């Protein structure tokens, strides 16, 4: 079910639970973080567009992906500024910036400002929140 006014995808938690794998559900809906170096896309550098595993919105292009060595897929910028929301996250005794899918509010990961590229940003994203669509 999608909200046509805001363009948001809103589903009952039970629906999400049915549609997502347990790992996707834990990350997207419960803000879990997958264990480093275990994610499907950590070391994948195939061409394509990474879309949200929850709603299919395009989130990151493979060109923006780089090997950060941190154990999770890292991107220098989102596919479109409007496709990700950022929120201050004070959990775990740290101040971080949480990255969410703007369409379904799914948790994706965090953004840090120690990236190597021109943006200086490092979007550290859980593989479980992403799906790679080949071009």
Note whether 50 and 128 are within 8 A (CB). Answer: no
Q: Say whether residue 104 binds Zn ion (CB under 5 A).
A: yes
- Say whether 52 is catalytic: no
Of these, 20, 27, 52, 129, which contacts Zn ion (CB under 5 A)? Answer: 52
- Stated as kind and residue range, the H or E segment containing 46 is none
Of these, 101, 108, 111, 132, which contacts Zn ion (CB under 5 A)? Answer: 101
**Stretch of residues binding Zn ion (CB under 5 A), selected from 89-97, 102-110, 112-120, 124-132:** 102-110
Give the integer Cα–Cα distance in Å for 54 and 124: 18
Q: Say whether residue 78 binds Zn ion (CB under 5 A).
A: no
**CA distances (Å), 107 to each of 54, 66, 70, 102, 116, in order?**
10, 20, 18, 10, 24
**Stretch of residues binding Zn ion (CB under 5 A), selected from 11-19, 31-39, 73-81, 95-103:** 95-103
Which residues are identified as catalytic? 124
């Amino acid at each position: 079910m999608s909200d046509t006014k805001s363009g948001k995808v809103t589903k009952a938690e039970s629906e999400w639970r049915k549609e997502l794998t347990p790992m996707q559900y834990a990350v997207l809906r419960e803000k879990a973080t997958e264990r480093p170096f275990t994610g499907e896309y950590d070391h994948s550098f195939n061409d394509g567009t990474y879309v949200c595993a929850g709603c299919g919105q395009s989130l990151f292009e493979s060109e923006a992906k780089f090997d950060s060595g941190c154990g999770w897929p890292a991107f220098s910028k989102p596919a479109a500024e409007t496709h990700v929301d950022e929120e201050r996250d004070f959990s775990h005794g740290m101040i971080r910036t949480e990255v969410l899918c703007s369409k379904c509010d799914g948790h994706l990961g965090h953004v840090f400002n120690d990236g190597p590229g021109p943006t200086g940003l490092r979007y550290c994203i859980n593989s479980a929140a992403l799906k790679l669509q080949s071009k």
